[in-house]
Each structure stands twice: as C-alpha cells, then as structure tokens.
Amino acid sequence: MKFLIHTYGCQMNVRDSEAVEALLIEAGHEKAASEKEAELVIVNSCTVRQKAEEKAIGKAGNLIADGKITGMMGCAVKRLGPELFKKLPRLAFAVAPGELLKIPYIKGGDPLSAHAGTAFQAFVTVMTGCDNCCSYCIVPTVRGHEYSRPADDIVREVECLAERGVKEVTLLGQSVLRYRGFPQLLRRIQEIDGIERIRFTSAHPGGCTDELVAVYRDCPKVCRHLHLPVQSGSDRVLKEMGRRYTRAEYLAAVAKLHAFDPEFSVTTDVIVGYPGETEEDFEQTRMLMDEAGFDNAFIFKYSPRPGTRSAALPDDVTKAEKERRDQVLLADQERRGQARNDRLVGTVREVMVEGPSKRNKARWSGRDGGNRIVVWDCNGSGKDSASPLCPGGLVQVRITEAHPQILIGELI
C-alpha cells in the first residue's frame, strides 16, 4: 500500500515519522510520491501549543473529508485519547507516542533504531520522555517519563548510519545534557568514521559544564551550536515556570560558551505572555536576550495546556499584548541577528552542502557549524557525487554579505 506521513511539531516527531516510514517499508509498503497518490495518510500530531494541535486535527479532518484513509499518531493522540474519535469519527486509527508498533500495517521491528531513506543527516534518539515539570509544558504528560538509551546502542546505531552514508547526526532528547555520561558519549561518536558533524538538542543551562566545554575543544566534529531554551529573562517568572535556573545562571552558561569561542552560536526559545507576566518581566526578557546575544530565537505566545500546572492560573495577558511582545522580540532578534552575522563577513565558514537554495535555484545552500544558513552561487556543479559539491559534502565559503537569518558568500 502507498502511504504518506504528514509531520507537525518538533524533531522528536520528525524522528518518529521516519521510524514509522522505515517500519512500513520493511513490512512491504511503499512511500507515495504525493498525497494524491497515497492510499493511506498518517498525520503525526503535536500538542505543545493549542494552535499546533488544531492544525494537525484540521489536516486529518480535511483528508478524511477527501475520502482518504487517515490515521493519526503523535502527542495530540495521547492528550485527547478516545475524545479524538469524537472529533474525527472516521479516523482509521490513533496511536500514541511510544506505541508506534501498534500502527496497523507495521509487522514489527525496533522503532528506536529504525531509519529510512538515504539522507546525509539523521536524528538519533538518546532520551525519550521528560522528568522536568515546567509549569506550562504538556510534554511530560504525553511523552512519559525520561528514559536514557544505553550508550552502546546509540553508538552502534550511529555506526550503522555512518555506513549508510550519513554525515551529520543530531542527538535528540528533551534535556540531553541530563544524559549520564553525555560528554563521554560525544567523545565516542567523535571517533566514528564517516560522521563529520555531531549536533544535539535540547539543552538545559545546568548542563553547560567545563566538561562539556572540554568536549567542544577536543572534538572538532561536535558543532559549536547550542539550542538553549531560556523561556524568560525574569527570575520571578523562571521560578514560577519551575525552570530551576536564574537569569544570572543562564547568562553565565552563555558567557562560558562565548568565552571559549566568540562565534559559538547560541539559539533559544522564549515564551511571551506567561500568566502574570508584567511589562517589567518582559523587559527583563528583552534585556537578557540582548546580553546573551542569541544568534536565533523562536518566540512562542503562551497557550495554556490542559492538566499542566500553569493551566490553573488565569491566562491574563491579552492576545493583543502577547502579539505585541512577540513582535517586539522578533524585531529585536532581526537587529541582533544582523549584528551577529555582520561580524562574520570576510571569514571563511566550513559549510555542509544541503542542495539548491529554495528561493534561488542558481544558488546553493548549506549550514555552517553554528547552524547558520549559508548560500553561494553555484555554476551548475553538484551533479558529480564524488565532488564535495553534493548534499552532505563539506565546502569552504568566504562570507561576502550578511542578513539577519542568512549568510551569502563565495565558494573557495
């Protein structure tokens, strides 16, 4: 049967979709080239914000209305349980995260280590679930307790991926720096032939130890980029959120990374409009973001999730005010991104090639170690798979022009 999976939400969902794809192919099914061609469509849902959940359910509803056999997986399934079938009575099946083998048409296998495709990048799960209980977050409810996979399993999986041509692995977990022996795990992966880049996400500032910095120093494959969600710059709000760090501790962690390498790229997540967030709290967040000098930031408007601690608090920042704070932080980040990237003009970046740029096919695009998008003019190259100029290859690009979210350069 020809199937297609639509994925919403975070990298964990992308990873789950890939595992399901691999297991369906193993069971003799075929990936459809388009939705039209698909006989079965699976919607992998997110529930971290209400909007995300609505999108996935809306998509499934449209598919069903079009007469497609439609199933659902992912976090919204877990949150809604049987209620989902009240919203979508003709849904073919609904399978929660961690139960992927219950998807009909899958015969068996190990979802944690199943990989599909021939891409040069792969996600590797190191931890599932989450044992933090940030007041606003539904992830622990839908993804369950924290579980760390044995290091030997992870290393073996990365070795297999390397043999299949994977060049870049991203280790996944809600709080990967809580993995016991994470620095040692990175050192083991550094030794695997064929792997050129190692990334990991997400991180908690508490894990930014000297031991981690030593790994960055010793292991050239470990990319100098860290996604370090801060959520708020106000100590009062951080405490209410249960984040277990202060703004000073957070800033010290970033300062440590920048002291080691001023070009170290730090990105973050911020929530605006948390219950009771005052103008002063918000200003604290603005100031923290400037001080930290983020290379990129994802701003989220607070949305109460049923059953979380903060859902019991009045959602008292108005929609308009959340929108305003969102826009202010986005504009700040535009300026900051420009200033951060301006400093890189004239430098040479090592870039892993991804392919023709989406906006301009005459240009090619890839990412530097800091996860910055780098674009360059490419005169028809890229067809010769032996050249570094094909997806997954490493090239040197001298930066000639900087934008807030993108660097433009010329191939050396």
Per residue, the 3-state secondary structure of the chain, as one string, reads: CEEEEEECCCHHHHHHHHHHHHHHHHCCCEECCCCCCCCEEEEEECCCCHHHHHHHHHHHHHHHHCCCEEEEEEHHHHHHCCHHHHHCCCCCEEECCCCHHHCCCCCCCCCCCCCCCCCCEEEEECEECCCCCCCCCCHHHHHCCCEECCHHHHHHHHHHHHHCCCCEEEEECCCHHHCCCHHHHHHHHHCCCCCCEEEEECCCHHHCCHHHHHHHHHCCCECCEEECCCECCCHHHHHHHCCCCCHHHHHHHHHHHHHHCCCCEEEEEEEECCCCCCHHHHHHHHHHHHHHCCCEEEEEECCCCCCCHHHHCCCCCCHHHHHHHHHHHHHHHHHHHHHHHHCCCCCEEEEEEEEECCCCCCEEEEEECCCCEEEEECCCCCCCCCCCCCCCCEEEEEEEEECCCEEEEEEC
Tokens of residue 350, six digits: 């090592």
* 289 lies in the site for ligand SAH, by CB under 6 A: no
| 238 part of the interface to ligand SAH, by CB under 6 A | no
Asked if 234 is part of the footprint of ligand SAH (rule: CB under 6 A), the reply reads: no
Per CB under 6 A, which of residues 113..132 are in contact with ligand SF4?
130, 132
Largest CA distance in the chain: 59
Q: Residue 57 touches which of ligand SF4, ligand SAH, none (CB < 5 to 8 A by kind)?
A: none
Residue choice 44, 231, 232, 285 for contact with ligand SAH (CB under 6 A)? 231
Residues 268-287 within binding reach of ligand SAH (CB under 6 A): 269, 271
Residue 202-221 contact track with ligand SAH, rule CB under 6 A, x = bound: x-------------------
Question: Binders of ligand SAH: how many residues, by CB under 6 A?
Answer: 16
Q: Residue 128 binds which one of ligand SAH, ligand SF4, none, with CB within 5 to 8 A depending on kind?
A: none
Shortest distance in whole angstroms from residue 154 CB to ligand SAH: 19
Q: Which stretch binds ligand SAH (CB under 6 A): 77-85, 156-164, 214-222, 295-303?
A: 295-303
Task: From 113-121, 191-199, 301-309, 385-393, give the range in contact with ligand SAH by CB under 6 A.
Answer: 301-309
Nearer to ligand SF4, 175 or 333 (CB): 175
The item of ligand SF4, ligand SAH, none sharing an interface with residue 216, based on CB under 5 to 8 Å by kind, is none
Residues 133-152 within binding reach of ligand SF4 (CB under 6 A) = 133-134, 137, 139-140
Residue with Cβ nearer ligand SAH (250 or 376): 250
Shortest Å, Cβ 314 to ligand SF4: 21
- 364 belongs to the binding site for ligand SAH (CB under 6 A): no
- Would you give the binding string for ligand SAH spanning residues 252-271, x where CB under 6 A is met? -----------------x-x
- Of the candidates 180, 174, 177, the residue with the CA atom closest to the CA atom of residue 149: 180
Task: Please report how close the Cβ of residue 303 comes to ligand SAH at its closest, in angstroms.
Answer: 4
Binding site for ligand SF4 (CB under 6 A): 130, 132-134, 137, 139-140, 174-175
Binding site for ligand SAH (CB under 6 A): 48-49, 136-137, 139, 174-175, 202, 229, 231, 269, 271, 300, 302-303, 305
